[in-house]
Chain A
Amino acid sequence: MSSRRDFLKTSLRHSSLVALAPSIPGFLAATARAAAPGRDDRVLVVVQLDGGNDGINTVVPYKDEGYARHRKALRIPAGDLLKVDGAVGLHPRMAEAAKLLERGELAIVQGVGYPNPSRSHFRSMAVWHSARPDPEEHGGPGWLGRAADALPPRVDRAPAFFLGDGSPPAALVGRRTTPVTLERPEDFALSGPPDPRRALGAGPAADPGSGDLAAFVRRSALDAYATADRMAELAGADATAGRDLRGRLALVARLIKSGAGARVYYTQQGGYDTHAGQPDAHAVLLGELSSALGAFQADLKASGLAGRVAVLCFSEFGRRVAENDSAGTDHGTAGPVFVVGAGVRGGLIGPAPSLVDLDDGDLKSSVDFRRVYASVLRDWLSLPPDGPLGGRFDPLPLFRPA
């Protein structure tokens, strides 16, 4: 193993191995490509804000007369906001995000949602994951999984990493695509002896009775052990990496730097389901989000990778316009989506949703979330959007022309 790795490192220094590909064994060529992603391999990082972020107190429409009317305990005084323009301002804890916005590296799409919104965490998240509003179409592949299915299959390199606890989100699951889940770097080291790879063999699954499931288990095991190999090649595991959002994004940066080669990295920040005691909890969350995004951009810039990476932040829904009496908010509808990166065309996109003209107490959405996805797929990842989105959606001007 180590001799193969040393060979690769030496060879890559001369950038000759890829050129030699036709004359070397397949697995070496594949590994070399993975270790040296092409210039055109742009990367998407998704940050899922779990629980339903209160967009109204994130990108605050402080001039809207409905704001003071509906938000008594939760109203943030206009003087405390980080003003974006004469109508909206960012939550006071989002100083790093405000800097990104000033530099033109943060786009905020306002009022993003979909028709007939569901206020169920699960159903609404399923809509965002599948890009299908019809629940009949849930439970299957997700929008990024479908998009990744269109990539040429690779045994040695996962198309998508999920960094977090538990199971990967449905968004990443394709018909063929299985994302790799990563919580801490040490989760990916095999501790043997024995080496389970050697017992796996190349033949079909032994038990004919279990059909497709047996093939799935084998494939998942092969993926898992290939990933263990890649992670073993990453130098110097950082013990703090991966603990919080900032740490997980640091780990994403390290994976990108080390040439893990995935096109999509996906992580979560939980805790946005603020039914009660919202002001303090929400401030902590937005502060963590904002500083994590700022640190990630700085890290990528220092490594000369900023131009290759874009971050998409979304939540399954916004919250009810009127606060409840627990100093919290219940489930609502539309909310803002953030897109961050040096290749992003920064600024506010779309009008701020009105807090006066409501639909049964909820915001009316002005931008379908699939238009954001269409831009990300077509203009950033250079993948055809119509199939993964189940139809044609007008992309938004989110990215600078390459």
Chain B
Amino acid sequence: MAEKSLRDPWSPYRPTPEAPWNARRVVVLHRRAAFAATRDELRRDLDDGPGPSVDRLLAGRTPADDFERTSTLIADAAVESRDPERLKAWWVYRMLAGPDPLGERLTLMWHDHFATGNQKVADIAAMRRQNDVFRRLARAPFGDLLNAAVRDPALLVWLDAPANRKGHPNENLARELMELFTLGIGHFSEGDVKEAARALTGWTVADGAFVFNPAAHDDGDKTLFGETARWDAPGLIRRLLDHPATARRLAGRLCGLFLGEGVVDAEAVDELAEGLRAQHLDVGWGVATVLRSRAFFGAANLGSRVVGPAEFVVGAARALGALDPPPNTLLLADWLTRIGLDLFYPPNVGGWPGGRSWLSSRGLIARANFATALTGGLGVGLPGPVDVFGPDGPEAPIDRTVASLAERLLGYDPGAGWRGRIAAAVGAGSVAPAEAVRRAAALVLSSPEAQVA
């Protein structure tokens, strides 16, 4: 474990002898803020240093016209087909080949934060529109995102807003707005929930779009947070955005996305929250601050976060160079589900528990089976095994191949004992060299070392 609390955790990282810019840090950056680096990206970022590497992720690439055109075609066809599996595949395609992997990571974070499930919404077009809202406002000031999310038809249906009318309050949206989207539990009372539900009356969905229905709105006095006024929904949202607990929750979210277990203490999260308040809850500012920070590149942040299902699956394909031809995204989306992330179907309004809970027995077995499927190719819709040879091709000694795979997938070499176990499990000598390399890649991917970054 590293030192208990890093001094100035949010000051910019500069490479030092203790925290050098190396392959490990490039791998961690791309595992946390993207979906792993390809071999070329790894090499390029190692040469360029932390500044340009982080800036590139923050900015995203200018989307090629044909990517967005293809993406839109795929999404339209998914909506047309009414098949949710095809919508999942569309998102996986964006993660795998899109110009803005950090944007997709943030979109996934917001899907988790405003967790909306198609099991109840039952409207793929609405789920897609919500997803595009999360993507468009992924780095925006949180107020813009929150205002859009709380007017989003899928979310309103999910939380029973249409049933919340003057004189007939339904508390579902009011409670989750405060408990999950902004303040967090402990910062509001049961009375606040009841009054907030009244303030939100009239916000509903008609013909698939958000509308305010003045006739259903309760215009009377309400006492919220000790203040009696004719509260309405915009006023409630403004108050929630002003509350320090919202900034704290947002800071906690960003730390949870980018940092490992115990990397920063409560004081550091508070400090980030204060910064966010000073920046009008600008998420882009928060993301940039965390990704450029000493906390992010500190030793404690290496190998201390469980790699989630999306970064595991999409990251494995990218890091192994299985992109041309690309794997079948329907099959990749199915692997995501088996590993524990069923896109558009969060387990409940609280989203996915994440962290160590990703490593259930079922999830770990599915990860091992995915490693077998990906490297073999057929299980992910490729014509044959992925070309994962080390620099010397399939004829290189197996130990050298394992070392080279470790460098690409982990950014470091766990040691001779580790390499030896993998080489022994491969059965080198008793199988063809190409098959030995494929097995070695599968074993590195399913090793405990590859489940964290």
Contact = CB atoms under 8 A, between A and B. Distances in A.
A194 B364 contact: no
Interface residues of A, number: 60
Of A183, A188, A201, which is in contact with the most chain B CB atoms at under 10 Å from its CB? A201
Contact of A168 (B357, B442, B447): B357
Interface stretch (A101-109, A221-229, A303-311): A221-229
Contacts of A180: 360-362
B448 A275 contact: no
A189 B368 CA distance: 10
B186 A182 contact: no
B227 interface: no
Nearest to A330: B171
Given A165-B342, A324-B169, A201 B417 contact: yes
A308 B98 CA distance: 55
B185 A195 contact: no
Interface stretch (B38-46, B70-78, B159-167, B316-324): B159-167
Contacts of B171: 275, 330-331
B421 A200 contact: yes
A166 interface: yes
Interface string A201-232: 10101110111011011101101110110000
Nearest to B305: A213
A387 interface: no
In this complex, the member of B2, B167, B190 whose beta carbon has the largest number of chain A beta carbons within 10 angstroms is B190
Contacts, number: 191
B453 to A, nearest CB: 10
Interface string A81-94: 00000000000000
A325 B168 contact: yes
B59 interface: no
Interface string A324-356: 111010110000000000000000000000000
B362 A206 contact: no
Interface string B416-450: 01100110111100000000000110110011110
A182 B340 CA distance: 11
B239 interface: no
A1 interface: no
B372 A194 contact: yes
A221 B360 CA distance: 9
A167 B303 contact: no
27 contacts: A119-B175, A121-B350, A122-B185, A167-B347, A182-B361, A189-B369, A190-B365, A191-B368, A192-B442, A194-B372, A198-B425, A199-B425, A207-B449, A209-B2, A213-B304, A217-B448, A220-B356, A221-B451, A224-B360, A225-B364, A225-B365, A227-B365, A228-B361, A228-B365, A273-B172, A275-B163, A276-B160
Given A120-B175, A328-B163, 15 more contacts: A121-B350, A135-B185, A158-B361, A166-B340, A187-B362, A194-B425, A194-B443, A198-B425, A205-B449, A207-B449, A214-B303, A216-B359, A218-B448, A221-B359, A228-B361
Interface of B: 1-2, 160, 163, 165, 167-172, 175, 179, 185-186, 190, 193, 260-261, 299-300, 302-304, 306, 338, 340, 342, 347-350, 352-353, 356-366, 368-369, 371-373, 412, 414-415, 417-418, 421-422, 424-427, 439-440, 442-443, 446-449, 451-452
Top 10 nearest A-B pairs (CB, nearest first) are A325-B168, A326-B163, A206-B414, A198-B425, A210-B303, A224-B361, A181-B360, A167-B357, A224-B364, A194-B439
Interface of A: 50, 119-123, 135, 158, 162, 165-168, 180-183, 187-196, 198-201, 203, 205-207, 209-211, 213-214, 216-218, 220-221, 223-225, 227-228, 270, 273, 275-276, 324-326, 328, 330-331
